[in-house]
Amino acid sequence: MKNQLIKFVATGALAAGMAFAQSAPVTSAPNVAPGTTHNARNHFRRNHFAKISQELNLTDGQKAQAKTIFGQARETAKPIREELKANREAMRAAVKADNKSQIEQLAKVRGNLMGKMMAIRTEAAAKFYQVLTPEQRAKAEQLHQQARARMHERLSQRSNS
């Protein structure tokens, strides 16, 4: 049971990771007017949530709870994402300057920030897990196993090519 919970929390953390993912707006996509933005990650996130909702047969109440849980987590993570962005820019500058001590210090800060993000994601996943029925939890575990199998297959295909 504990192992199953750990697997589900890891799956939830991955799902939450997608919810927290930040990307620059894509403006070079076809059929996107100049000056407008199309965020492909937001599109994926919406489609992924819809697919998971359908696969787990979430009720409207569960969907609302999930949106609240992951929305609150996203807001909590927002300042950390900004710190990570600043850290990335500082790291690029340190690399260009070949400043090894600054690179090491920035790497430690980044590790700490990534740990905070993982904690937020995992807490959100655990809260979401509590919203699910036992049948939905079993289905979520099955989906997790299928996703892992697909990921391993893709990785093995990459290493073979």
Q: Is the CB of residue 20 less than 8 Å from the CB of residue 77?
A: yes
Please give the residue that has the higher pLDDT: either 50 or 124: 124
How high is the pLDDT of residue 82? 98
Dihedral sign for Cα atoms in the order 54, 15, 36, 30: negative
Per-residue confidence band for 160, with pLDDT thresholds at 50, 70 and 90: confident
- Partners of 38 in the beta sheet? 26
97-128 residue pLDDT tens: 999 999 999 999 999 999 999 999 999 999 99
Domain residues for the domain of 72 are 43-129
Looking at residue 38, the DSSP 8-state letter turns out to be B
CATH at residue 104: 1.20.120
The residue-averaged pLDDT of 135-139 equals 96
How high is the pLDDT of residue 30? 46
The answer to the question of residue 3 being in a domain is no
Q: How many structural domains does the chain have?
A: 1
Alpha-carbon distance of 72 to 75, in angstroms, equals 5
Task: Classify burial at 137, counting beta carbons within 10 Å of its beta carbon; exposed 0-12, middle 13-18, buried 19 or more.
Answer: middle
Length of the chain: 161
The answer to the question of residue 19 being in a domain is no
The candidate with the shortest Cα–Cα distance to 105, out of 85, 86, 91, 84, is 91
The answer to the question of residue 95 being in a domain is yes
Contacts with 117 (C-beta within 8 Å, 6 or more apart), sequence order: 20, 77, 80, 81, 84
The answer to the question of residue 152 being in a domain is no
67-104 residue pLDDT tens: 999 999 999 999 999 999 999 999 999 999 999 999 99
Alpha-carbon distance of 81 to 75, in angstroms, equals 10
The answer to the question of residue 12 being in a domain is no
How high is the pLDDT of residue 48? 83
How high is the pLDDT of residue 3? 57
Contacts with 21 (C-beta within 8 Å, 6 or more apart), sequence order: 41, 45
The answer to the question of residue 104 being in a domain is yes
Per-residue confidence band for 29, with pLDDT thresholds at 50, 70 and 90: very low
30-41 residue pLDDT tens: 444 445 455 665
The answer to the question of residue 156 being in a domain is no
How high is the pLDDT of residue 97? 97
The answer to the question of residue 68 being in a domain is yes
Alpha-carbon distance of 37 to 27, in angstroms, equals 5
